[in-house]
A and B are shown apart, each in its own frame.
Chain A
Amino acid sequence: MERRDLHRLAVPLAVVGGIVALAAAAPLLPLADPVHIEVSARLTPPSEGHWLGQDEYGRDVLSRAIWGARASLAVSFLAAAIAGIAGTALGLLGGYFRGVVEILTVRSAEAVLCFPPLLLALLVVTLLGPGAGTLIVALSILYAPSYARVAYAETLAARNLDYVVAQEALGARSGRILLRTVLPNVAPPLLVQFSLTVASAMVLESGLSFLGLGVVPPEPSWGLMIRGARSTMDQAPWLLLWPCLALTGTIVALNMLCDALRDVLDPRGRTVSANPFRAFVSGLLPATEPAPAPPALLRVDGLHLAIGHGPGALPAVRDVSLAVAPGETLAVVGESGSGKTLTGLAILGLLPPVVRVTGGRILYTGRDGTTVDLARLGEPALRRLRGDELSMVFQDPSASLNPVHRVGDQVAETIRAHRDLSAAEARRRAVALLDRVGLPDAARRARAYPHELSGGQRQRAVIAAAIANGPRLLIADEPTTALDVTIQAQILELMAGLKAQAGGMGLIFVTHNLAVVSEIADRVVVMYVGEVVEEGPVAEVFGSPRHPYTAALVASVPEGDDDRLSAIPGVVPPLHDLPAGCRFAPRCGLAEPACTAGAPALESLGGGRSTRCRRWREVA
């Protein structure tokens, strides 16, 4: 466990530890006798001798609160722990083995839930007699099924995960798989369950004690104190306050502890927190310079994007410039982490909250001929453009469609968001669009829900929605990556056909697949860790690359007849640890000392080509 983790746990752990220590140390503390009755001092307010006052029998409230904690804490912790162990075991076994084992464990545990809690407790008390021990047994039986259900559901989800199957493939025994692999991964929700159970057990303990089924008066417990104080609420309201404070304080501290524990046990780190206010303000900042010559369609000038805020912000995209002319297809190609998707999202103003524009311009000339900077346009103006003049197709068609609405209605909705049309007219247009994107039997399919369509058909529906209002610029982010090759070929042909028909629609095609780029695009921008490294017409860039990274990417496509693929050595550097100078130098065969000394600038080579390499003349 790292120091940072301990730091996170420190406060809640100290509070819970303090409460437990206080209760445990009750006999050692100089407290008044919690059961000593002094009727003459009945309902006395807090005083020097009795800091929290005296109750309806004149007993010291402070002393009773601390002694009472022993009973309340012991009962609720023990009951929650016993129920947790038993319930988790039942759930794990039932979820992992299914079948008969499931009936014997989870389903039979659920039968307990059919009994009213009080009836069940009465049954246990009749069998065992009253007392704290009985209470623990009753509460354990009561809470075990809820653990079993949580553990069961989590185990069901976990047992088909690859790393559980991997253990099976290794020949591990079921017991080992359950304890070493499944249990640690289903633990987080069980921890939450534990904190909820402890809290709820404390409350139930007070109720059962009142009925004489648990802690027996005059022994103190928080539940008994609340019950006692209730009858004298009018004369001494503070008496109600102390046990309630103790109860809620303990529960809150426990919840915090369990939450912190769950976070610490999750090894996948913490996320950067967003600052929506800062993002909002930066969106309002005016452009510092007057805009230069307006583009025919879109030009991105020196775009910088950062993830997070302050000194820890990661420069995800640096100085990216690109342009799309009407009717042109520009491919943005790069590996994961290259910033290609963020660049696409930035154009539409769809950046996630943690990412913000830190520099540059995104100049767009609209249908009405005016040029705006999309990077500084307010959200209402952007919303008017999105889905109308600018639209986007995402990688995963099932995530882009709302599962509870019919696809035809979703396309019609896009039209009505920007055009003043009747619902019937919009629906008629939607069917025509679905037909145009090649959805067979469009009139009937328009009434289908997304899950009733195949992946390829869903992507066609998403494209139909994207082109519904005749966009001037369509951004497609890996639109075929989730599809099979024969379906990918269909979608690529559809997009090429749509572009030819639409006349003048610009297309930005974001992808990692070089072969797809060479089939669909006119020009290509190659990105590497947030920078453009090469740009130019597709055939020229792939035919005779002028940057070692492009050359290496082309060579690593498994198409040649060589026995060995040529691989790029090393890994893409993480954003927080970018190499100085040329970012590709550590993996580059041509790197020389000068490459790591200073970052090369994007150099224009003429003919619409440019490269970010000092030694481009030597790139084979």
Chain B
Amino acid sequence: MTSAADSCRTPLVEAEGVSRAFRARQGLLGRRRDILAVREVDLTVARREAVGVVGESGCGKSTLGRLLLHLLKPTAGTVRFDGRTLAEIGGDRLRTLRRRMQLIFQDPYGSLDPRRTVGDQIADGMLIHGLATPAEARERVAGLLSQVGLDPAHAARLPHEFSGGQRQRVAIARALATGPDFVVADEPVSALDVSIQAQVVNLLADLRESLGLALVFISHDLHVVRHLCDRVAVMYLGRVVETGPAAAIFAAPAHPYTRALLAATPSLVRRRDSSRAPLAGELPSPSDPPSGCGFRTRCPFATTACAEAVPPLEAFGGDGRQVACVRVAEIG
């Protein structure tokens, strides 16, 4: 549906019209209302493909990542992994399937149990799924640690003895321990220093190459996504507003939001273009989204037509891109 490479194989992960609502009570005695964090998102990830999910806080990108792993159940739509609908697989079989899909978190301080050695935590997955005896697991932990660039002798250390970048390497080793073919990385480098970010991004790129992982890389940093991903989905207020090959989107963003996002990202090489004012206003509340296009309240191109209906994702340009904007052809 998006690129030629997808159609000739079955995708590894397929999300079809997934939505996720959270219940929230407004005020102490207020009515309960649903906040739709993710709205009718379609996303496919082919084997060995890296897909970037980009957007600002509150756009639903982390929720989407957890929906793809079925750590959250979708309130509508389905997620298929390797052809099987995750919602229909129960208990033990789902747990067995988890061996093949893993999650890497943003905060390398919160994602490791502070009370257990990193070796034990990396070995967990192998022992849970019976992939190794404790002795074999110890050996594999050493191998995994050197694979992510750490000293195998450090398996007996506790997380607090490592720096942030090293902890993120430990978290990556834990995710790889069960030999997954699908990994969701949720802002894995956002909490790290610039020089360390580059190390971890390179590590993820190498591992993806050598292990043939399918990767969903969630980030607010467009530059990092461009380095790592084949394809990008840009999200705003729970919906995908633009998707397509990373290179094409970065070269010529089509959706007004993608344009604004790229323009707002500070750059070392180009001084701020003073003619292009930063995007005005703030993200509308997900509990009370605007009618029609979610971006219209901040969009410089918005017309009355934008308020009437949610613009569908439609093919744009010849490069496998899809854009959800009724005026995309005019404003080009």
Residues in chain B near residue A569, CB distance under 8 A = 199
- Asked if residues B267 and A486 are in contact (CB atoms below 8 Å), the reply is no
- Asked if residues B178 and A170 are in contact (CB atoms below 8 Å), the reply is yes
A356 at the binding interface (Cβ < 8 Å): no
Interchain CA distance A345-B223 in the complex, whole Å = 32
- Asked if residues A568 and B198 are in contact (CB atoms below 8 Å), the reply is yes
- Asked if residues B266 and A512 are in contact (CB atoms below 8 Å), the reply is no
Q: Per-residue 0/1 for A485-525: is the Cβ within 8 Å of any B Cβ (1 yes, 0 no)?
A: 11111101100000000000000000011111011000000
A161 at the binding interface (Cβ < 8 Å): yes
Interchain CA distance A564-B114 in the complex, whole Å = 33
A559 at the binding interface (Cβ < 8 Å): yes
Interchain CA distance A513-B223 in the complex, whole Å = 13
- Asked if residues B198 and A558 are in contact (CB atoms below 8 Å), the reply is yes
Residues in chain A near residue B197, CB distance under 8 A = 556, 558, 565
A364 at the binding interface (Cβ < 8 Å): no
> Which chain A residue has the least Cβ–Cβ distance from B178?
A170
Query: In angstroms, how far is the closest chain B Cβ from the Cβ of A78?
Result: 27
Interchain CA distance A180-B116 in the complex, whole Å = 9
A97 at the binding interface (Cβ < 8 Å): no
> Which chain B residues numbered 99 to 133 have a C-beta less than 8 Å away from chain A?
99, 101-103, 105-107, 110-116, 121, 124-125, 128-129
A567 at the binding interface (Cβ < 8 Å): yes
Residues in chain B near residue A489, CB distance under 8 A = 263-264, 266, 272, 278-279
B282 at the binding interface (Cβ < 8 Å): yes
- Asked if residues B124 and A172 are in contact (CB atoms below 8 Å), the reply is yes
Residues in chain B near residue A487, CB distance under 8 A = 56, 282
> Which chain B residue has the least Cβ–Cβ distance from A335?
B193
Interchain CA distance A486-B106 in the complex, whole Å = 21
- Asked if residues A486 and B260 are in contact (CB atoms below 8 Å), the reply is yes
B85 at the binding interface (Cβ < 8 Å): no
Instruction: Tell which of B36-44, B158-166, B317-325 binds the partner.
Output: B158-166
- Contact of B205 (CB < 8 Å), options: A165, A455, A552, A564: A564
Residues in chain B near residue A563, CB distance under 8 A = 227
Residues in chain B near residue A553, CB distance under 8 A = 194-195
- Asked if residues B220 and A554 are in contact (CB atoms below 8 Å), the reply is no
> Which chain B residue has the least Cβ–Cβ distance from A184?
B115
- Asked if residues A165 and B264 are in contact (CB atoms below 8 Å), the reply is no
- Asked if residues A556 and B195 are in contact (CB atoms below 8 Å), the reply is yes
Query: In angstroms, how far is the closest chain A Cβ from the Cβ of B219?
Result: 11
How many of chain B's residues have a CB under 8 angstroms from any CB in A?
A: 71
Interchain CA distance A594-B71 in the complex, whole Å = 55
- Asked if residues A567 and B202 are in contact (CB atoms below 8 Å), the reply is yes
- Asked if residues A554 and B268 are in contact (CB atoms below 8 Å), the reply is yes
- Asked if residues A170 and B124 are in contact (CB atoms below 8 Å), the reply is yes
- Asked if residues B194 and A335 are in contact (CB atoms below 8 Å), the reply is yes
Known: A176-B128, A489-B264, A516-B266. A566 touches B99 (CB 8 A): no
Query: In angstroms, how far is the closest chain A Cβ from the Cβ of B164?
Result: 7
A163 at the binding interface (Cβ < 8 Å): yes
* Secondary structure class of chain A's binding surface, majority of residues: helix
- Asked if residues A267 and B271 are in contact (CB atoms below 8 Å), the reply is no
A168 at the binding interface (Cβ < 8 Å): yes
Q: Per-residue 0/1 for B87-103: is the Cβ within 8 Å of any A Cβ (1 yes, 0 no)?
A: 00000001111110111
Residues in chain B near residue A513, CB distance under 8 A = 194, 266
> Which chain A residues numbered 440 to 489 have a C-beta less than 8 Å away from chain B?
440, 454-457, 484-489
- Asked if residues A519 and B271 are in contact (CB atoms below 8 Å), the reply is yes
Interchain CA distance A185-B110 in the complex, whole Å = 12
A394 at the binding interface (Cβ < 8 Å): no
Of the candidates B110, B171, B205, the one having the most CB atoms from chain A within 10 angstroms of its own CB is B110
A171 at the binding interface (Cβ < 8 Å): yes
B221 at the binding interface (Cβ < 8 Å): yes
B142 at the binding interface (Cβ < 8 Å): no
> Which chain B residue has the least Cβ–Cβ distance from A568?
B195
Known: A557-B223, A566-B198. A161 touches B160 (CB 8 A): no
A268 at the binding interface (Cβ < 8 Å): yes
A232 at the binding interface (Cβ < 8 Å): no
> Which chain A residue has the least Cβ–Cβ distance from B107?
A162
Interchain CA distance A487-B220 in the complex, whole Å = 12
Query: In angstroms, how far is the closest chain B Cβ from the Cβ of A123?
Result: 37
Query: In angstroms, how far is the closest chain B Cβ from the Cβ of A289?
Result: 37
Q: Per-residue 0/1 for A82-102: is the Cβ within 8 Å of any B Cβ (1 yes, 0 no)?
A: 000000000000000000000
Known: A335-B193, A335-B194, A558-B221. A185 touches B115 (CB 8 A): yes
B248 at the binding interface (Cβ < 8 Å): no
- Asked if residues B195 and A168 are in contact (CB atoms below 8 Å), the reply is no
A372 at the binding interface (Cβ < 8 Å): no
Known: A171-B125, A518-B266. A162 touches B111 (CB 8 A): yes
Given contacts A163-B121, A490-B280, 8 further A-B contacts (CB under 8 A): A165-B105, A265-B115, A486-B264, A489-B278, A554-B268, A556-B194, A564-B205, A572-B163
Binding site for A on B (CB under 8 A): 56-57, 69, 71, 94-99, 101-103, 105-107, 110-116, 121, 124-125, 128-129, 158, 160, 163-166, 171, 174, 178, 193-199, 201-202, 205, 220-221, 223-224, 226-227, 260-261, 263-269, 271-272, 277-283
Report the 3 A-B pairs with minimum CB-CB distance, sorted nearest first: A171-B98, A489-B278, A567-B198
